[in-house]
Amino acid sequence: MITTVTSPEDRVAKRKGSGLDGNSHRRNGYRGGGGKGGGGGNGGEGGNHDDDARNASPKRHRIGMCVALASILMLFGALISAYVALAGSSEHWRSVAGSPFIWLSTVFILLSSGTFEAGRRCLKRGNGQGYRRWLLLTVVLGTGFLVSQLLAWQQLADQGLYLRANPYSAFFYLLTGTHGVHLLGGLSGLYYLLFVAGGNRKEEQADQRQEAAASIMALYWHFMDALWVGLLLLLLWK
């Protein structure tokens, strides 16, 4: 049987070597933890991607609104073309006297664009209470526009001018009615803005979303305003 004798110096050297190996493993483990930290860095990049997605969302909504407005413009363009063509060729074309409620509704919708913009300025300054007041006034004026249109229809009906009375009255009801339906959709958007503005959230991101929503809704509302002015001039022209 062979017995190996280890000197004290060899035993000390082995202990030092094992200590170095332990330190090496600990250092490697520390570096591994650093790798996890790198994973946290990737999470930060994911957060940046989320921010980019939130910033891109209003742009997509604005593009969608522009597409919707383009389709509405094409619809009214077709109706106006038919109106102009029929006005120049029909022997039974007979325009009717303008109702005073038509002028009243025009005043309402013009004022509503001004109140909407006043509300947006308050929102940009951080005056939420002023924004809600102006927005509520815009809703009241928009509702007044629709009520005035209905009263104008009632006045024409009392004069015996119905949808089939003559081509002019048919187009009058068709153009004003189609515009009124689209404006009713705009009122629904204003009610949504009022609902959101009534919340108690004070976060900066919530304010930014309100500004973006108000900006997109302003495109629609001002478009309806300009479209009504164009329709009114057309109806008064012939």
| Domain ranges for the chain | 54-237
Do the beta carbons of residue 142 and residue 190 sit within 8 Å? yes
Average confidence score pLDDT of the chain: 78
Q: What is the pLDDT of residue 20?
A: 43
Tens digit of each residue's pLDDT (9 = 90 or more) over 152-163: 998 888 877 777
Tens digit of each residue's pLDDT (9 = 90 or more) over 12-23: 455 544 444 444
- What sign does the CA torsion over 121, 123, 124, 125 have? positive
Do the beta carbons of residue 152 and residue 179 sit within 8 Å? no
Is residue 192 pLDDT above 90, yes or no? yes
Q: What is the 3-state secondary structure (H, E, C) of 159-175?
A: CCCCCCCCHHHHHHHHH
The C-alpha angle 130, 136, 141, rounded to 5 degrees, equals 125
Q: Percent of the chain, pLDDT > 90?
A: 47
Quickly state the pLDDT bin for 92 (edges 50, 70, 90).
low
**What is the dotted CATH code of the domain comprising 54-237?**
1.20.120.80
Q: What is the pLDDT of residue 107?
A: 96
The residue among 194 and 91 whose pLDDT is bigger is 194
Q: What is the pLDDT of residue 56?
A: 57
**Residue 120: what residue type?**
R
Q: Which of 32-41, 115-124, 141-150, 164-173 has the lowest mean pLDDT?
A: 32-41
Is residue 229 pLDDT above 60, yes or no? yes
Concatenating the DSSP letter of every residue in 34-57 gives HHHHHHHHHHHHHHHHHHHHHHHH
Q: What is the pLDDT of residue 31?
A: 43
Q: What is the pLDDT of residue 18?
A: 46
Quickly state the pLDDT bin for 179 (edges 50, 70, 90).
very high
CA proximity to 124, closest of 216, 34, 214: 214
From CA 135, how far away is CA 120, in angstroms rounded?
9
Q: What is the pLDDT of residue 106?
A: 95
Quickly state the pLDDT bin for 1 (edges 50, 70, 90).
very low
* Average pLDDT rounded to a whole number, residues 66-81: 95
Is residue 219 pLDDT above 60, yes or no? yes
Q: What is the pLDDT of residue 169?
A: 81
Q: What is the pLDDT of residue 158?
A: 83
Quickly state the pLDDT bin for 228 (edges 50, 70, 90).
very high
